[in-house]
Amino acid sequence: MSEIQARDPFDSVTKGCFVILPGEPVEFKKSASKAGMYSHKDDGTYYNPYHREYFGFQRLIDGTESVETLKLRVKEYERTWSEMKNRIDSLLANINKFSIENIVNFVTTAYNDVHDISNLQNLNLPYCELPTALVFAGVNIPDHDVLFKQIACTLQRNGHAVATLRSADCSNLKNTISHMIEQLMNTQKDYEKDDDDDEEIDGKIVFFKRAKCGSRLSKYDMQLLAGWYEHICQTTSCSNNGSRLVVIIQDFECFDPKLLEDLNNLFIIIIPPSIVENSEYRERLPIVFLIGIATIIEILHDTLPKSTLSLLRMEKFSLLQPHQCFNLLVNEVIIEESKGIKLGLAPFKYLTDTYLLLNYSISSYVSKLQYAVMHHYYANPLSFLSNINREEAQARLRLLTDEHLEIIRMQASFRKFVEARLPNYQEVVKLLKDNNYLKSLIPGFIEEMQLYQKKFSIAFNFIYIIQNSLNEPSMRKQKYYLYLMALQETNGLCESDYVKSVVLHLRKLNCMKLREIVIACKEYMSQRVDGIVELMETISLLEGFAEKLGSNDANMSGLECEPLSIGERLVSRSRAKMMRNKANSTNDDTKLSKDVVGFFEGFFRDNLRHYSSIPLHELTYYDAVNLLKKAFNAQPREALQTALGQPSHYIRCDCCLEDQSALDEILPTQNDTCILYKLYLEFGRLINLYDWFVAFKHVLDKAGPIEMNEAQYPLRNRLMLNFVAGVIL
């Protein structure tokens, strides 16, 4: 920058993109660090290779971290994230499974149905209707690509030919059709290659060659498609093959309505000639439309004219609503996952807010999550101890250096842990001084954390089960909201008013209802127990409760569980006798239900503690929300203002860095646009262009006398040019 300035006082950076690679500051720090105890200074060139080899992970602890732990962190990151990613992917694949199955079903039966029904009822519709599936996919357009790919794949697997049309590829009818035909014919070819025998394929390939070098038909001629379909029908053994030509219109809102109109009419017109003779079923190509709608059905009425609308036989398929989707995701990835990195309160809240308030975008949620996980392993020198089992822990303990232990001692949760042991002076000293003693405790901490997570998620889901079976709509909370509450209550979720009132409601329940809840809890728990002894005991306890509640229930068969009205009580003596029986059993009931509720209360208290009460929770919980915000909440306006007001913030040029005090001053070395912007701020509402120019010139003159060996006029022109360029920008 300064060099350029020296050469030409008016040249400056007007546009630029700066990539700041990590690494340089570390190099700097490394040389600054005094003790080279653990640094492997073999040749000093290994920093750059690391960037590529280890995802740009660097050695922490002032660059003294051993390569082994660095490698472990990278490895752990890859492992953890791939596990989480797999869970997310399989969840997303299954989330809309039901709807997609319905769609496939619709496509498969699209043409059978009509004929059956119309034959049955003797319907003779005036319109030749095109089966159309309307897929309500939600407003988040960026996620649609994945979704429709999924639908297309499923359809192809079922033997249908699929063409996906996006508005970006379809500017006019000609390229829309050629695009569509290409896709339809390709997919069909692949599908048949898989299924049919060799001879068939040969025939097909010849056909395609003929079609492709096509001197007769252009590739956007619908006759090509018709002829090709006819050929397929003839060559495939079964005459009534079920394959349909599915045309997916992914982003209906973005399409040119005229184009869609034409396309629709076209599909209706096209009739493959010989097929009509052969079969009475097929009057035209079995084209099925799949229209992705992000908004509401009214948009269809708005964009398409009545004449086109009447050509469509529409059925509606709605996919999962964003809230439900989000609930599942949070449950699967964050609440139930006992391994992996967890989000602390602030990041969780931030991620939830952006999803619910701003964009409904699963993909952006996932990328934020990935960023958090990556940053955890990238920046936390202790992260190689996160989520490991007993055997791994032993091996990794050996890698712990004194610096690592010091860092452990610096953690807030460790301080809490020590403070809790203050009465035991000896142990505290040992904790703080004896490295070996501390090391020996670490596996315990890690295990405790894992157990805590497991139990927490179980207890958490108990609450969810209970709130759902309560007959109180006001008590029902979404899972993500409950979890947010759990993170917010630093005393533990069990201390919150909400859980207290849940327990209160639990007390009011009768034994039948209670039994249902206990059984539901038991069933949920037995799926998640993974052979942990403590949890097995809890299960058997629950089983016991269920049995007792059941037997009480059986005793009273014939009696209603609900208290009877006074009028009924007076009806007869025999009734009164029964009432006495009932009173007895009610006593038993109350005791039993007291026990059950007591158990739940205790279970909640033990397991729904806040995560900050667990020692070394920093290993698992990620809390750096500011970094996430910085990375994902770009603020274009603020960035622009900073760039214009304090260009040194981004450019880091020497001239401005030297003199930090003069931030507001307009320096001639700054960018033209910056100078103009600052001058603009100094002026009032209206600017005289000439005054502005003079002021601009004045600032530049401050840089020193402009070299006079050039002629005056070109220089002035140049000045003018810069001014104009700056203003326009």
Partner 1 sequence: MNFAQELALLYPGRSSQISTLIELIGQPTDASPPVIFVYGHSSLGKTTIIKHIFTQLLSATHYAFINCVERHTESLLFEHALNQFAGITPSFENDFCNWVKCGDINEFVVRLRECWTDDNARYLILDRAERLRDMSPTLLPALLNLPALSCKDLKELRYLASLLFPVYLLPVKEGTAKRSEHGKLAKNIQQYFKLAMDKLYLRDISSSEWIKHASEIENNQNDQSLTSQRMEVPYYTKFLLIAAFLASYNPPRLDQRYFVKSNEGRITRRKRKNNKTAKSNGKPRQQLLGPKSFPIERMLAIFYSILPEKIEGTVDIHMQISSLITLRLLIRTTSTIERLETVKCKTNVSYDFIKQVSKSVRFEIDQYLYDFN
CA 345/CA 611 separation, integer angstroms: 10
Q: Which of residues 92-131 bind partner 1 (CB under 8 A)?
A: 113-114, 117, 121-127, 129, 131
Q: Which of residues 351-410 bind partner 1 (CB under 8 A)?
A: 354, 356-360
The 10 Å CB-count burial string (b at 16+, else e) for 472-506 is eeeeebbbbebbbebbebeebbbbbebbeebbebb
- Alpha carbon 394 to its chain's center: 35
Residue for token digits 């760039």? 643
Q: Decide whether 528 or 629 has the Cβ nearer to partner 1.
A: 629
Cβ(674)–Cβ(647) under 8 Å?
Answer: yes
Q: Which of 57, 136, 456, 483 binds partner 1 (CB under 8 A)?
A: 136
Dihedral sign, Cα of residue 179, residue 185, residue 188, residue 193: negative
557 lies in the binding site for partner 1 (CB under 8 A) = no
The string of DSSP letters for 525-582 reads: HHHH-TT-HHHHHHHHHHHHHHHHHHHHHHHTTTS-SSPPPHHHHTS-HHHHHHHHHH
Q: Which range, of 5-13, 248-256, 486-494, 521-529, touches partner 1 by CB under 8 A? A: 248-256
Across the chain, which distance is largest between two alpha carbons, in Å? 125
Q: Decide whether 323 or 577 has the Cβ nearer to partner 1.
A: 323
Q: Which of 279, 310, 367, 526 binds partner 1 (CB under 8 A)?
A: 310
Token couple for 705: 């006398």
Contacts of 370 (CB under 8 A, 6+ apart): 81, 85
The string of DSSP letters for 62-126 reads: TTT--HHHHHHHHHHHHHHHHHHHHHHHHHHHHHTHHHHHHHHHHHHHHHHHHHHHHHHHT---S
Q: Decide whether 143 or 618 has the Cβ nearer to partner 1.
A: 143
What count of Cα atoms within 13 Å lies in the side-chain half-sphere of residue 680?
Answer: 13
The string of DSSP letters for 2-16 reads: HHHHHH-TT----S-
- How far is the first Cα of the chain from the last one, in angstroms, to the nearest whole number? 20
720 lies in the binding site for partner 1 (CB under 8 A) = no
Q: Using CB under 8 A, count the residues that bind partner 1.
A: 53
Q: Decide whether 125 or 663 has the Cβ nearer to partner 1.
A: 125
Shortest distance, position 359 Cβ to partner 1, whole Å: 6
Shortest distance, position 17 Cβ to partner 1, whole Å: 16
346 lies in the binding site for partner 1 (CB under 8 A) = no
Q: Decide whether 16 or 636 has the Cβ nearer to partner 1.
A: 636
Which residue, among 619, 641, 453, has the nearest Cα to 530 in the 3D structure?
A: 453
316 lies in the binding site for partner 1 (CB under 8 A) = yes
Token couple for 656: 């401005």
Q: Decide whether 306 or 390 has the Cβ nearer to partner 1.
A: 306
Shortest distance, position 259 Cβ to partner 1, whole Å: 15
Q: Decide whether 304 or 442 has the Cβ nearer to partner 1.
A: 304
Q: Which of 67, 141, 451, 579 binds partner 1 (CB under 8 A)?
A: 141
Shortest distance, position 433 Cβ to partner 1, whole Å: 47
Q: Which of residues 633-652 bind partner 1 (CB under 8 A)?
A: 633-638
Q: Which range, of 9-17, 90-98, 317-325, 641-649, touches partner 1 by CB under 8 A? A: 317-325
Shortest distance, position 688 Cβ to partner 1, whole Å: 24
Token couple for 620: 């698992």
The 10 Å CB-count burial string (b at 16+, else e) for 194-204 is eeeeeeeeeeb
CA torsion angle 517 520 522 523 (round to 10) = 170
Shortest distance, position 324 Cβ to partner 1, whole Å: 10
280 lies in the binding site for partner 1 (CB under 8 A) = no
Q: Which of 182, 196, 200, 253 binds partner 1 (CB under 8 A)?
A: 253
Q: Which of residues 288-307 bind partner 1 (CB under 8 A)?
A: 294-299, 301, 303, 306
Token couple for 241: 């093959």
For residue 246, give the 3-state DSSP assignment: strand
138 lies in the binding site for partner 1 (CB under 8 A) = yes
Shortest distance, position 167 Cβ to partner 1, whole Å: 9
Q: Decide whether 524 or 632 has the Cβ nearer to partner 1.
A: 632
Q: Which of 30, 282, 284, 313 binds partner 1 (CB under 8 A)?
A: 313
251 lies in the binding site for partner 1 (CB under 8 A) = yes
Binding-site string for partner 1 from residue 194 to residue 213, where x marks contact by CB under 8 A and - marks none: --------------------
Residue for token digits 């007001």? 645
Residue for token digits 């000045």? 719
Q: Decide whether 249 or 408 has the Cβ nearer to partner 1.
A: 249
Q: Decide whether 312 or 525 has the Cβ nearer to partner 1.
A: 312
Helix (H) or strand (E) holding 176: helix 173-195
Query: What does the binding site for partner 1 look like in residue numbers (CB under 8 A)?
Result: 113-114, 117, 121-127, 129, 131-132, 136, 138-141, 251, 253-254, 294-299, 301, 303, 306, 309-310, 312-316, 318, 321-323, 354, 356-360, 633-638
